[in-house]
């Protein structure tokens, strides 16, 4: 009986993955794509912060802990100073950040500091509102009025890693058989559905080294890092998939504590799992510095209108047009998929500003 159950679960898992891969293939191969949001990163966009940190250490030696804390304060000030500027704060307040599986709030805190409207979801904080399995068009319309049409700038997702991380590989067979793996895969799918619906300017899914990509069909990862790259003195290799600027600023300190998470927070309790999953604060502020809308206006506008020519969008910004101006000029055409008219409108606008196209 158990053998039959195991075979059925394995067949279900294989079918689930086939359906996802077939659906993604049909999306990628479509003659016209609504968005390039799930495109794999180009080779030059993939960043291994270990390599960047090694280059820094070879040139300068390890950063002292105190210097790393000073660097962290600089990153924090990027967020705080945006909030202190009324104009930037107002612009940020017109942008939404959705942070999924965010019990601690650490990853999304810099966005709060800078004045963004941040919505955190975690089932441990709220069994209904925090359960992303409940996400749907109706959920966001009825409970959030779909954020009144404001731009969703970022979706951050620290998907549960228990059923994916290689550190728990000895339990994979049992989890695959009893449905736990399928439940975790569905959380990733639901995250991707949310990203596809809102089409944020940036999105990121975080997980340690493991099998999340092979089981869900995620495109290749864009960033690899360890906490010691941002001033924490321990290792925990982590990967990020998504669309974002992966060239994060660093503060590399010697990882004298090694891989401390399982040594200090071993066990299967919810409390220890939560402790192992807390986002390093240095990473959170570094990520914000490299990906906030004000400091990275060209990336933001190019990701928002990702079917249009990036060079033209760059000239628009250089001519003095704001993202608000660009939105007013082309949103109707762009979201009607009339890219030609949107392009012509921007060309005319730039020309009228006295900038050659």
Residue 269: what pLDDT?
A: 54
Q: Is the pLDDT of residue 327 over 60?
A: yes
Smallest Cα–Cα separation from 49: which of 203, 235, 214? Answer: 235
Mean pLDDT of the chain: 89
Q: What percent of the chain has pLDDT over 70?
A: 85
Q: Which residue has the higher pLDDT, 163 or 236?
A: 236
pTM (two decimals):
0.87
Q: Which residue has the higher pLDDT, 79 or 178?
A: 79
**Cβ 154 vs Cβ 300: under 8 Å:** no
Residue 175: what pLDDT?
A: 82
Q: What is the mean pLDDT of residues 234-251?
A: 97
**Sign of the CA dihedral with 339 first, then 343, 344, and 345 last:** positive
Q: What is the mean pLDDT of residues 36-65?
A: 97
Tell me the two tokens of residue 61: 């030696």
Q: What is the mean pLDDT of residues 214-239?
A: 95
Domain coordinates in residue numbering, the chain = 34-298, 305-352
Residue 232: what pLDDT?
A: 96
Residue 349: what pLDDT?
A: 96
**Cβ 355 vs Cβ 348: under 8 Å:** no
Q: Is the pLDDT of residue 24 over 50?
A: no
Q: What is the mean pLDDT of residues 125-144?
A: 94
Other Cβ atoms within 10 Å of 211 Cβ, number: 15
Q: What is the mean pLDDT of residues 338-343?
A: 98
Q: Is the pLDDT of residue 22 over 70?
A: no
Confidence of residue 249 (pLDDT cuts 50, 70, 90): very high
In 209-341, beta strands by DSSP E:
223-225, 238-243
Residue 229: what pLDDT?
A: 98
End-to-end CA distance of the chain: 70
Q: What is the mean pLDDT of residues 100-127?
A: 96
Instruction: State which fold the 34-298 domain adopts.
Output: Rossmann fold (3.40.50)
């Amino acid at each position: 009986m158990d053998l039959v159950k195991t075979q059925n679960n394995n067949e279900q898992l294989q079918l689930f993955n086939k359906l996802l891969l077939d659906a993604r293939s049909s999306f990628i191969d479509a003659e016209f794509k609504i968005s390039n949001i799930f495109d794999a990163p180009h080779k030059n966009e993939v960043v291994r912060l270990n390599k960047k940190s090694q280059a820094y250490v070879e040139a300068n030696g390890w950063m002292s802990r105190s210097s790393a804390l000073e660097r962290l304060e600089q990153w924090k000030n990027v967020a705080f100073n945006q909030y202190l500027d009324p104009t930037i704060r107002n612009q940020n307040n017109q942008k939404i950040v959705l942070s999924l599986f965010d019990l601690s709030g650490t990853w999304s805190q810099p966005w709060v500091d800078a004045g963004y409207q941040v919505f955190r979801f975690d089932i441990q904080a709220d069994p209904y509102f925090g359960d992303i399995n409940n996400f749907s068009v109706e959920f966001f319309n009825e409970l959030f009025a779909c954020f009144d049409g404001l731009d969703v700038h970022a979706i951050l997702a620290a998907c549960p890693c228990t059923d994916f991380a290689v550190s728990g590989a000895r339990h994979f067979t049992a989890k695959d058989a009893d449905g736990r793996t399928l439940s975790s895969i569905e959380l990733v799918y639901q995250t991707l559905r949310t990203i596809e619906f809102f089409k944020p300017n940036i999105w990121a899914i975080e997980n340690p080294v493991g099998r999340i990509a092979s089981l869900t069909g995620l495109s290749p990862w864009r960033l690899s890092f360890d906490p010691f790259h941002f001033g924490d003195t321990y290792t925990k290799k982590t990967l990020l998939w998504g669309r974002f600027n992966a060239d994060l600023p660093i503060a590399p300190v010697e990882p004298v504590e090694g891989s401390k998470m399982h040594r200090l927070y071993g066990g299967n309790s919810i409390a220890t799992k939560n402790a192992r999953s807390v986002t390093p604060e240095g990473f959170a502020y570094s990520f914000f510095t490299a990906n906030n809308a004000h400091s990275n206006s060209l990336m933001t506008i190019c990701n928002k209108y990702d079917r249009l020519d990036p060079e033209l969008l760059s000239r628009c910004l250089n001519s003095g047009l704001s993202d608000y101006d660009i939105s007013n000029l082309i949103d109707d055409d762009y979201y009607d998929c009339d890219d030609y008219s949107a392009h012509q409108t921007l060309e005319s606008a730039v020309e009228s500003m006295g900038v050659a196209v």
